[in-house]
Structure 1
Amino acid sequence: MVRANEEVEALLQEYADLIAISGGDAFKARAYEKAARAIGGHPADVSKLDVPGLREIPHVGASIAEKVVEYLRSGRVSVIEETRAAIPAGVRELIAIPTLGPKKAMVLYEDLGITSVDQLLDAVHAQRLRDLKGFGEKTEENILHGISLLQKAGGGRILISAAMDVAEQITAELSRITGCERCAYAGSLRRMRETIGDIDILVAAERSAPFMTALAELPSTAEVIAHGAKKTSIRTTKGLQVDLRVLPPASWGAGLQYFTGAKAHNIRTRAIAVRHGLKLSEYGLFDSGSGELVASETEEEIYARLGLPWIAPPLREDRGEVAAGLRGELPDLVAEGDIRGDLHTHTDLTDGLSPLAEMVAAAAARGYSYYAVTDHAPNLYMQRMTDEKMLAQREAVRALDRRHRGMRLLHGTELNIGPDGDVDWPDAFLAEFDLCVASVHSHFNQSRQALTRRLVRACENPHVSIIGHPTTRLIGKRPGIDADFDAVFEACARTGTALEINAHPERLDLCDEDILRAKRHGVKFAVNSDAHSTTHLPYMRYGVGTAQRGWLTKDDIINTWPLTALRRFLRGGARRS
């Protein structure tokens, strides 16, 4: 169920890594990386494009286009197969470790003969890496953390976006079957967790057999793990387990409640049921003595009979939501429809894939009231930004703003927070932007004290309105930086600097637990897509889901505010008050 674009993106990225491992041309490796990203973010299905069509995608030249067509026709690319064969399998295994790049993987193979993760672990524990050039204690720590991330990822958990694609396609297929009264996904996906172990699908119908058979026969089904009248489990061609349960329509609410909440949440609600002389199961809420059905058709009925308001799925983690419900203090959670605009996006002027006009049109189609373009500033040297380019873009943004009467355009930038906390451009230049997002993009391994000081100094810069992707983590690939984030949160609250909830599913940074901590400090937030393509703008749903898991309301999030209130915050009035 993964789009052909994503398969091709993974293939070209692998080839770029293979080129780097083998000591090939760095510019060639970079070209394949750019092409991989461009194809992954391209809105059209590349499986339907020929070579000329592929060449219209930015960064895709004739040679790359021909390889893509070869792969889509045959499932393989001869030159990539040959390159794979020339590189020891052990080295390819090592580069799967987050924090370990291809060059270091090759050094480990050539100098120490390491060809597996287990051998690498043994070498680290024996301190054999410290004699290698470019390696040291910090490298060992990073490698151990990377192996830990790899092992967790190997537990079968995937990003929420990939799981959502699968779940929505399956629910759409099953909803078409005669007799389906309701169909939805449940479990950790409905709770909007950042990674998903398996997918729970529920159907309300009188007969289960047609649905069980349909799931087993889907083109994406690689293996039927179990097939029964009440539950069928399959594994998709991408290795993801899907569990389908068919419930009587009268039990829909009870089943949805039972299969959505985290285990600890369900234990707590069942305990409340017991105190009320009731028994709660996936089929309903029953009187313990008589066995009489008390409630079952809707979740609202179930919670109400337990003396609770309906609890939104992202809250059902046993983090105080039941107690808050009993006190009548559950938050009115932010919803995706509350988001009035996106405040962190990119165009092809730097590392984005879509031109300015296309990004603006896509944002307008989402019904936004305002939209910010925030391309990278010059200190991120690979983006080759200049004063002249940025000023020319500002004129283009202003011209488009005059044409988009229903959506106001803001011209901003994403600044790079340097090792000492300084940012790109002098104050006079920064003052002309509508907003500045500031983010850490390098020097991740500084000391805890230096990283904390660096972020705090950025918060104290009067031109910085938002700290972008604050911990810099990439889920399953790169750990967050080691800073004292309580000190950073305090600085944000003191200076009136918003913290970003980056909605890209590989980031979701801040995570829900950090949001809860930051909220206690009085921090305001911005939920942004960090879109590098028109196809990334819908990632906003994942950022909002993460905000909900952090108990945030509209009042907490600056891009749910009217434009006048937002402008007042961005001008610094909120920070000085």
Structure 2
Amino acid sequence: MARPNEEVEALLQEYADLLAISGGDAFKQRAYERAARAIGGYPQDVSKLDAKALKGIPGVGKSIADKIAEYLSTGHVAAIDETRSTVPPGVRELMTIPTLGPKRAMTLYRELDVASVDDLVTAVHEDRLGRLKGFGPKAADNILHGVELMRAAGGRILLGEALRIAEETVSGLVAATGVERCEYAGSVRRMKETIGDIDVLVAARDEDAEAIMRAFTELPGTAEIIVHGRKKTSVRTAKGLQIDLRVLPPVSWGAGLQYFTGSQPHNIRTRSIAVRKGLKLSEYGIFDTETGEQLHAGTEEEVYGRLDLPWIPPTLREDRGEVDAALRGELPDLVTQDDIRGDLHTHTDLTDGLATLEQMAEAAAARGYAYYAVTDHAPELRMQRMTSEKMLAQRDRVRALADRYGRRLRLLHGTELNIDPEGEVDWPADFLAGFDVCVASVHSHFGLDRAAQTRRLIRAAENPHVNIIGHPTTRKLGKRAGIDVDLDAFFAACARTGTAVEVNGHPERLDLRDEHILLARRHGVRFAIDSDAHAVSELDNLRFGVATAQRGWLTADEVINTWPLTRLRKFLRGPGRR
């Protein structure tokens, strides 16, 4: 069962989508999107708030608060039901295709009677899209690519949502009678960007297994029991996510956690090493092949130690060379959250954020950051209505606020610039020189060809005032594929110019992704791990950025926002940058 905040978030986002489909006011649509994000990230249960408290949530005005209250009391919102009835279900299915927007979905329904994804694929193959205005020569290829992305995603969910569910499940089980240890495993523990199902392990005596399984099936959120046994029980949540619980004897804990965490190729490598050492390694334990004796391996460290290997961090267990590196004693000392000294890409309510400058700065201080940058959008992203005057006024506020924090937190005034199709960015050089840090990102013209996309990114990296290229491929998981760009050429340019490349921690982005980080490292690129936070709660996105960086084998020294402020400032102003 979804939490009230999630239910309301989904409802408001649905209404925003319905407004887009039906051609409603664009500002109203964005207002509901903003309110949906605010509700989803709000720390308190909205079902416990009165009307005044609801209106105190950033982005929630009287009209939206009234709809929330109506939904919480009746389970329906009349205005949303009415709008929903005007949009055919098939159109909403079409909207799940990443490369197809709401208005084009409605056009396809009205003009070609396309009411499902299968109908759309048929229409493309029959070459019927060309007769429609707004569907150019590349439309068919883009749509088919979007359908592939949608189908590839299947029932997978984003890491952020999966991790929340996994942590709630573990939290709900640790208090159960007989539970000695409990941890999530599988792809969630490896922090993969999308998750198909969740594995949870418990160490307990056999006589306690039945009570533990019963406690598991009674956890909030369980919609269906798929399998119920003493050693394994599987349930499905209301959103269709499968959670598998396995109860292991304490003596098997280390082997079970290692087995159920590692990818299949990683586990094949470790089992092969075990065989060469006269051992058998499985989820049940590690055994002497000749005598059949089970060797003590209560922890993962003991399991790897039996194989003469150091403990391998879960985020590396993908068989990308980590076992060979461990054998050579060359595993990287991975960057951690504790290494991060500050966040260099965040937003406030001056543009599309949900919190004030003061609220974001206070949250950064509470996290113990040494420095913190606010980087609101620049004017070329016109929907944000930024002006030079507004940005200079914010700079004055940042400087005044900086005096309040002193050495406890150094506030940096920055901006997120827009990279246009030619690689130019907002504002002239003399204006850009006044910022402490400039992030430059692509926000439009995603359909340019490979050569054009590569040129625009390289030109932005060559701009002496651009310090970081934000979310470089622009992808949004399950919604938008990344732009087509020659990453080798782009990374080479960033290494040459001293421009950092961002690992964006927003769970919908995780951009750069792990494979791209591995490629960029070979060019000697520097990185920034940022939250891209638009609300106080989204500062926690940094954990996903760090996990993605670990999957890309990054060390702390390769990440500029692990550096002391003096070193960071030197990088931001250094040779080739100014």
- Aligning the two structures, in what range does the TM-score lie when normalised by the shorter sequence? over 0.9
* Contact preservation (8 Å) 2:177, 2:212: no
Q: How big is the shift at 1:204? A: 0.9
Provide Cα deviations, 1:489-547, integer angstroms capped at 9, x if missing partner. Answer: 00011111000000000000000000000001110100000000001001111000000
Question: What's the counterpart of residue 391 of structure 1?
Answer: 392
Q: How big is the shift at 1:273? A: 0.7
Inter-partner Cα distance in structure 1 for 2:60 and 2:277: 65
TM-score between the two structures when normalised by the length of structure 1: 0.97
Question: What's the counterpart of residue 60 of structure 2?
Answer: 60
* Contact preservation (8 Å) 1:285, 1:294: yes
Question: What's the counterpart of residue 178 of structure 1?
Answer: 177
The 3-state SS of whatever aligns with 1:137 is: coil
Provide Cα deviations, 1:90-111, integer angstroms capped at 9, x if missing partner. Answer: 1121122112111111111111
Amino acid at match of 1:262: S
CA 1:560–1:379: 2 relative to 1, 3 Å: same
CA RMSD in angstroms comes to: 1.3
CA 1:27–1:340: 2 relative to 1, 3 Å: closer
Amino acid at match of 2:220: P
Inter-partner Cα distance in structure 2 for 1:518 and 1:53: 47
Amino acid at match of 1:322: V
Question: What's the counterpart of residue 195 of structure 2?
Answer: 196
* Contact preservation (8 Å) 1:295, 1:305: no
Provide Cα deviations, 1:229-281, integer angstroms capped at 9, x if missing partner. Answer: 11110001221110001111121111110110000100111011111111001
Amino acid at match of 1:84: R
Matches within 5 A, 1:523-542: 523-542=525-544
Q: How big is the shift at 1:575? A: 5.5
Inter-partner Cα distance in structure 2 for 1:27 and 1:468: 26
Provide Cα deviations, 1:63-88, integer angstroms capped at 9, x if missing partner. Answer: 22111111122322222222222222
Q: How many residues align?
A: 575
* Contact preservation (8 Å) 1:41, 1:353: no
* Contact preservation (8 Å) 1:283, 1:296: no
Structure 2: which 5+ runs fail to align? none
Q: How big is the shift at 1:41? A: 3.3
Out of 558, 562, 570, the residue aligned to residue 560 of structure 1 is: 562
Question: What's the counterpart of residue 70 of structure 2?
Answer: 70
Inter-partner Cα distance in structure 1 for 2:317 and 2:424: 41
Inter-partner Cα distance in structure 1 for 2:268 and 2:376: 48
Structure 1: which 5+ runs fail to align? none
Question: What's the counterpart of residue 124 of structure 1?
Answer: 124
Inter-partner Cα distance in structure 1 for 2:576 and 2:448: 31
Inter-partner Cα distance in structure 1 for 2:310 and 2:25: 61
Out of 478, 481, 489, the residue aligned to residue 479 of structure 1 is: 481
Inter-partner Cα distance in structure 1 for 2:162 and 2:24: 35
Inter-partner Cα distance in structure 2 for 1:350 and 1:137: 35
Q: How big is the shift at 1:483? A: 0.8
Q: How big is the shift at 1:469? A: 0.3
Question: What's the counterpart of residue 259 of structure 2?
Answer: 258
Q: How big is the shift at 1:467? A: 0.3
Matches within 5 A, 1:359-378: 359-378=360-379
Percent identity over the alignment is 69
Amino acid at match of 2:180: E
* Contact preservation (8 Å) 1:494, 1:575: no
Q: How big is the shift at 1:574? A: 7.1
* Contact preservation (8 Å) 1:5, 1:42: yes
Amino acid at match of 1:333: L
Query: Does residue 1:114 correspond to 2:114, yes or no?
Result: yes
Q: How big is the shift at 1:115? A: 0.6
Question: What's the counterpart of residue 87 of structure 1?
Answer: 87
Inter-partner Cα distance in structure 2 for 1:22 and 1:565: 52
Out of 442, 463, 476, the residue aligned to residue 465 of structure 2 is: 463
* Contact preservation (8 Å) 2:322, 2:331: yes
Query: Does residue 1:19 correspond to 2:23, yes or no?
Result: no
Amino acid at match of 1:137: P
Question: What's the counterpart of residue 98 of structure 2?
Answer: 98
Inter-partner Cα distance in structure 2 for 1:547 and 1:138: 34
Amino acid at match of 1:397: V
Inter-partner Cα distance in structure 2 for 1:42 and 1:186: 28
Inter-partner Cα distance in structure 2 for 1:450 and 1:295: 59
Runs of 4+ that moved beyond 6 A? none
* Contact preservation (8 Å) 2:505, 2:546: yes
Provide Cα deviations, 1:305-328, integer angstroms capped at 9, x if missing partner. Answer: 112111000000000100111111
Q: Comparing 444-453 with 32-41, which one deviates more in the overlay?
A: 32-41
Inter-partner Cα distance in structure 1 for 2:354 and 2:237: 31
Q: How big is the shift at 1:35? A: 2.4
